Amino acid sequence: MTRLSHRWRSRCLARIPAPGARSRALAGLAGIGLLLGGCASFSPDAGLSVANGYASLELRKDLVKVNDEAVALTAEARAEQLLRRPLTADSAVQIALLKNRGLQAAFNDLGVSEALFIQATLPPLPRVSLTRTGGNFALEIDRSLVISLFELSTLPARAAIAQTRFRADQYRAADQVLRLAGEARRQFYRTVSANQSVAYLEQALASSASASTLAKQLGETGALNKLEQAREHAFYSELGAQLAKARVFQRVEREKLIRLLGLWGREINFGLPNGLPPLPGRLVPAAQIEAEAMKKRADLQVARFELQSLAGQYGLNQVSAFINVFDLGYSDVYDRSKTFEPNGQGGFDVRRDTTFRKGYSADLIIPIYDFGTTVIRGAKEAYLGSAHRLAERAVNARSEVREAYQRYRGQYDITRHYQSSVLPLRKTIQDQALLQYSGMLIDVTTLIIDARARILSNIQAIEAQRDFWIAATDLKAAVVGGGFTGGGFGGESAGVEGVAGGGGPSLASATPGG
């Protein structure tokens, strides 16, 4: 006897009639899934709409995602054009947005996030299996098609959660753009300040060299004793050591700027202005900056969307607490067999039997041990934790804006005080001391002390001006996002290697007499 068995099992949402209509049933399932999940597709700008909005409105700069050779060549050409002229703070930011590889990697991460979002909006994939067994004049074929009713019914909720998470990642990418722009601007001011300090120390060293040579000549004639000669020579040597240190500091700051801009090869030979920009004629008003920060800060938007996604996940976990697997489907079994029976003529009669049976199948899994208590509890704690972190960030953001404005306003007043009062007085003191020294009314010690004090005041004035522009950058970052440095305040006591307004180590602390 030979038996041939042919079985077909399928699981789906609707009843599938005869085998000839299976293709139409599968098409219907796909249509239902797309209707539930929506028609999400990849955005033409690779998800950079939020980052582009911040770049154009807040930074007045352009963003480029380098994803092919043509775009890369265009970005390189624009960067080369900007590098032909001495850099400004704005051009440094634009070059960083074009060439910084870390930022491009962040854009690629956003692309991965968008791919995960699109994947989450697609219907669950059906599972198809085929089994064939045979032997002893028998053949059996099992085929099955399974699709999850639970995943399909919760597709809109899961798609909404994925969209919210992707939205948070969009604001996270915008925050990285703002961070890079802010740090490039700060580093530009640090580098220009270091160049300006070196230039001033070179001028001071040249004047000190002339004074040291004159002291030597006066000593040879007996008009200047050895003690005063030694003091003059020591001042010249100390100033030379400080200039060497300033040049090292200058090169270090330039390399930091090079790394932020993403430059290499001949590109690193860019030019910089001779000095920092002058103080603005009008300050940013303090009114409504807290409310503006609450609306604009990218990190707050990230926290808000993360909270929304956790809220959606919490609701979904409540739905799936009692049932998390529900597969419902249609089944049919088709059997065909042959039977050989002997007849009176000495041969065999062949009898064929065919059966077709139809039915339904369902798989249901219920977590009977805790009924989803642990899942719901964990989701609730995650949601509450995110809510508290959002509240904390909002409180901190308001305080950071107020602190940043106080630094901005205070550093402006300090810089104006140096430029309008301290430096003119130091020049007057040195001029009068030089006149009295020429008239032999004071000795060289007093002249050296006054020269040291003027050098220190000029270096502090340069650093104060640097700290103001860094404070202005910090104020912008505190309002729109991008990382508030919150470093030490400018004008700290000598010897403190703090970051003045986020500016960097102070050269004034190591200046002779500082």
Residue 412's SS3 state is helix
Same domain assignment for residues 243 and 287: no
Residue 476's SS3 state is helix
Domain assignment of residue 343, yes or no: no
Residue that the structure tokens 């002291």 belong to: 215
Max distance between CA atoms of the chain, in angstroms, equals 153
Same domain assignment for residues 302 and 214: no
Same domain assignment for residues 160 and 298: no
Same domain assignment for residues 261 and 311: no
Same domain assignment for residues 200 and 73: yes
Domain assignment of residue 81, yes or no: yes
Residue 475 sits at φ, ψ, to 5 deg, of: -65, -40
* Amino acid, single-letter form, for residue 23: S
Domain assignment of residue 362, yes or no: no
Same domain assignment for residues 388 and 416: yes
In tens, the pLDDT along 212-241 reads: 777 777 777 777 778 878 888 888 888 899
Domain assignment of residue 333, yes or no: no
Same domain assignment for residues 167 and 307: no
**Of 185, 186, 195, 189, nearest in space to 274 by CA:** 195
Same domain assignment for residues 204 and 230: yes
Domain encompassing residue 317:
278-324+371-484
pLDDT on residue 365: 64
**Of 179, 165, 11, 24, nearest in space to 93 by CA:** 179
Same domain assignment for residues 416 and 443: yes
In tens, the pLDDT along 182-214 reads: 999 999 999 999 999 999 999 888 887 877 777
pLDDT on residue 152: 75
CA distances from 371 to 148, 149, 290, 317, 326 (A): 20, 20, 46, 11, 15
Domain assignment of residue 498, yes or no: no
Same domain assignment for residues 305 and 437: yes
| Maximum average pLDDT range among 261-270, 388-397, 474-483 | 261-270
Q: What is the DSSP string of 139-200?
A: EEEEEEEE-BHHHHHTHHHHHHHHHHHHHHHHHHHHHHHHHHHHHHHHHHHHHHHHHHHHHH
In tens, the pLDDT along 351-363 reads: 766 666 666 566 6
**At 272, is the pLDDT very low, low, confident or very high (cuts 50, 70, 90)?**
very high
Same domain assignment for residues 67 and 161: yes
Domain assignment of residue 512, yes or no: no
Domain assignment of residue 335, yes or no: no
Does the structure show a pLDDT above 70 at 16? Answer: no
Q: Give the number of domains in the chain.
A: 2
Asked if 122 and 33 touch (Cβ cutoff 8 Å), the reply is yes
Domain assignment of residue 84, yes or no: yes
Does the structure show a pLDDT above 80 at 248? Answer: yes
∠ CA 208-503-64, rounded to 5°: 125
Q: Report the predicted TM-score, pTM, of the whole model to 2 decimal places.
A: 0.79
DSSP state of 40: -
Helix 298-319 crosses helix 289-296 at what angle (to 10 degrees)?
50
pLDDT on residue 264: 93
Which CATH number do you get for residue 272?
Answer: 1.20.1600.10
* Amino acid, single-letter form, for residue 413: D
Same domain assignment for residues 297 and 269: no
End-to-end CA distance of the chain: 109
Phi/psi class of residue 333: alpha, beta or left (left: φ > 0; alpha: ψ in -120 to 50)? Answer: beta
Residue that the structure tokens 């090079």 belong to: 258
In tens, the pLDDT along 363-385 reads: 666 666 666 677 677 778 888 88
**At 6, is the pLDDT very low, low, confident or very high (cuts 50, 70, 90)?**
very low
Q: Strands 127-135 and 2-10, how do they pair?
A: unpaired
In whole angstroms, give the CA distance from residue 433 to residue 23.
Answer: 101
Q: Which helix (H) or strand (E) holds 10?
A: strand 2-10
Q: How many CB atoms lie within 10 A of CB 340?
A: 12
